[in-house]
Amino acid sequence: ASTRYELENKLYNTYKKVKLLAETDSLTGLSNRYSFDESLKQVISLNTRSHKKTALLLFDLDHFKIVNDSFGHDVGDLLLKKVVSRIKSCLRGNEKFARLGGDEFAIMLSNLSNSDQAGQVARRIVAVLQKPFEIASALLQTTVSIGIAIFPENGKTSEMLLKHADIAMYRAKNNGRNQICFFEEEMQNKFYLRIKTEAELRVALVEQQL
């Protein structure tokens, strides 16, 4: 009986290792595209019943090809790992963070009460990447273009959300990169208004202090 138990335990541990390898990106340790797609589908089906919002943030590194071409793929890989580490430092830890391939990443935020929360997370990511990375005696500055799509407003399936987040990301690139762009124009306008109001409040506080 003991041997059978040990064998079953061994098989289960092997299964867990294989499952982890199948769902993990080997370079960054993040979830891979397959795992992310499955999680997104699950969360959408749960949130359909609970009427909660889910935000999908899609982003890639601006001009990453230039880093690979100028410094080589080893430096490029190291930059990706450092970017991931820095982004993780500004997340709460309950988000699903994945590398979809190359320099493209996705973050899923579930159980949101409003879309503002997605904008706040995106702004933290942009802010945390402002400081250059020191790699191989070189200072590398990298920025991201972030596209945001919200369930259920921007799509009721994982495919539709990914498609719309992708469109928003390319809009962010066309706007000059290092930008955050919501798929829906109304959400984008609210986002800009919020940033403008915060900036005006900061100026008012400084002027009062002076």
Return the active site residues.
103
Spatial CB neighbours of 7, under 8 Å, sequence gap ≥ 6: none
Q: What gap in Å lies between CA 68 and CA 26, rounded to an integer?
A: 19
C-beta neighbour count of 82 within 10 angstroms: 16
Q: Measuring CA to CA, how many Å separate 106 from each of 15, 18, 44, 144, 149? A: 26, 23, 15, 12, 11
Closest CA to 116 of 202, 165, 188: 188
Q: What are the beta bridge partners of residue 59?
A: 105, 146
Q: How far apart are CA 50 and CA 203, in angstroms?
A: 41
Q: What share of the chain is helix, strand, coil (3-state, %, to 5)?
A: 55, 20, 20
With vertex at residue 183, the alpha carbon angle to CA 142 and CA 191, rounded to the nearest 5 degrees, is 75
Please name which of 167, 131, 153 lies closest in space to residue 55, comparing C-alpha atoms. Answer: 153
Partner residues linked to 96 by β-bridges? 108
